[in-house]
Amino acid sequence: MALPQALENYRKQYRKIKLFQDVASVLHWDSEVMMPEEGREYRSAQIAAVAELTHDWMTDKSFLNQIQSAKQSIGELPESERSLWNRELEVLMEEKEKADKLPSEFVSEFAKVTNLAHAEWAEAKKEKNFQSFAKRLEELVQLSKKQADYFGYTTEPYDALLDSYEKGAKASQIQTLFSDLKASLVPIVSTAPKFKNPFPEPISIEKQTKFCNRLPSLLGLTTKESRLDTSNHPFSTSLGKGDKRITTRYSETDPLSSIFGVLHETGHSLYESGLSAMPNWPTPITEFLSLGIHESQSRLWENQVGRSLPFWEFVYPILLSDFDLSDKELPFKELYQYINSTEKTKVRVEADQVTYNLHIILRFEIERDLINGKIQVKDLPEIWNTKMKESFGLTIENDAEGVLQDIHWSMGAFGYFPTYTLGNIFSSQFFKKFTEEFPDSHNKFSTKGDFSDLLGWLRKNIHSKGKIYDVDSLMKQATGEAADSKHLISYLNGKIKEVTK
């Protein structure tokens, strides 16, 4: 049966908007990976123009008329198809109503300022000088507060920004969750073992790149649909169907940094690839459900898989070959223990899986107070350094290893950080359920490097669902219970017992 014309018309306009949003993603990717330094200012204008254009299309009254006509046409469809169509238009209207609250000139300004801010942040980090970025960050904070006001909130401005990444989440709820989690993590951190770096010598970027380029395909993301590059801060992005981009960064003294960066970003891209395979892509329900769910996919491949014994039993000989090392120079047991070592460190992206969430809690507390007006931008280095001393017992030596270490605030992404810990909670629960259903999976991992059962499970239970359900419903359908941090704590305790045998 052919679709009613009103539904065809609505989807045609939606896909036009999506096409240009993907064009903006191309511009962003290029600006982080390939663009010469002198192109930044004009590129910012390009990105701003595309952002304003897609926003205008989304908020135009004619598009609302198309959506309303489409909704009226659902009654012409067989009853079995109506529920999904109703959900599709419901999701779209939520997105549109949010866009309607933002003036076009604000959208353009926000896009331009954040693109300029990235280059200034990167330079400030390089120079280890927060003050050179402070003025721009103050501008971003004010824009974000204005954005919160446009969106509206009932309790605090931060809630309005958090909702953009994790729909329905409230800062007060996150605070309670994080406080309970922190109470469980602190004793684990105090007893978890620390192991020294076993690499006998620096590993060249060329050798690391050779090994890292193997990883996406090993997990299921082929070279025909992805590519790996280098950037200041690892990230992944979807430029459309069949085009997923991954970046990492390299440290010659600790090659695990690039390896786990690739595993993490591949997890993101596998999710996007699965979404792209949904029927009728692109539609409003073939998008990622939440940043917490997105992060669950990256953290699962990075930690539950990437730090597992079966994974390293398979890749260890490949790594030795690519790095030109013998097993005597890099013994397996020492490498595996180091991979699962626990140590309080200054930098989030290099943190182990036990202390990582403490880094997130620190950032959540700071940015919540910043957006809610309780602290000022000028005081951030001192506040950051004090909290690092309190939570980790570490002294920050410079701004690059302190308040400037993350890219997120230069993107205006206030409210993003909590989703990392939500992702850790979700990923532990997903992986536990998978291993219950596929108890022999570890043998396929270790002997064949075959991760197809896991990818298939994620495709079936997470990727193929898109935005059809909300997070609570998805968690219950996929795992049989609501999200619960007990699975993360159980996983971490189990890992520590494993490496200290």
* DSSP label of 393: -
Residue type, 379: D
Residue type, 471: V
User: How is residue 246 written in tokens?
Assistant: 């991954």
Residue type, 500: T
Other Cβ atoms closer than 10 A to 487: 21
User: How much of the chain, in percent, has pLDDT values that exceed 70?
Assistant: 100
Pairing mode, strands 226-230 and 244-248: parallel
> Residue 148 pLDDT > 80, yes or no?
yes
Strand partners, 226: 244
Pairing mode, strands 236-238 and 244-248: antiparallel
Average pLDDT, the chain: 95
> Residue 197 pLDDT > 90, yes or no?
yes
* Rounded Cα gap, residues 307 and 298, in angstroms: 13
Catalytic residue among 265, 272, 365, 367: 265
pLDDT for 339 equals: 96
User: How is residue 496 written in tokens?
Assistant: 């520590």
- Residues making up the annotated binding site for Zn(2+) are 264, 268, 295
Mean pLDDT of 355-362: 95
Residues 276-328 pLDDT 10s:
999 999 999 999 999 999 999 999 999 999 999 999 999 999 999 999 999 99
- Let me know if 37 is exposed, middle or buried by CB neighbors in 10 A (0-12, 13-18, 19+): exposed
pLDDT for 232 equals: 85
Mean pLDDT of 229-238: 93
* Rounded Cα gap, residues 196 and 261, in angstroms: 20
Choose the weakest-confidence range: 14-28, 177-191, 418-432: 177-191
pLDDT for 1 equals: 60
Mean pLDDT of 406-416: 96
pLDDT for 190 equals: 84
* Rounded Cα gap, residues 347 and 397, in angstroms: 12
Give the chain's radius of gyration (CA, Å). 23
Mean pLDDT of 116-142: 96
Q: Given the structure tokens 């998978």, which residue do they identify? A: 434
pLDDT for 500 equals: 85
- Let me know if 135 is exposed, middle or buried by CB neighbors in 10 A (0-12, 13-18, 19+): exposed
- Residues making up the annotated binding site are 264, 268, 295
3-state helix, strand, coil in the chain (%, to 5): 70, 5, 30
Residue 300 Cα distances to 51, 252, 277, angstroms? 32, 25, 21
> Residue 120 pLDDT > 90, yes or no?
yes
| 37 is a catalytic site residue | no
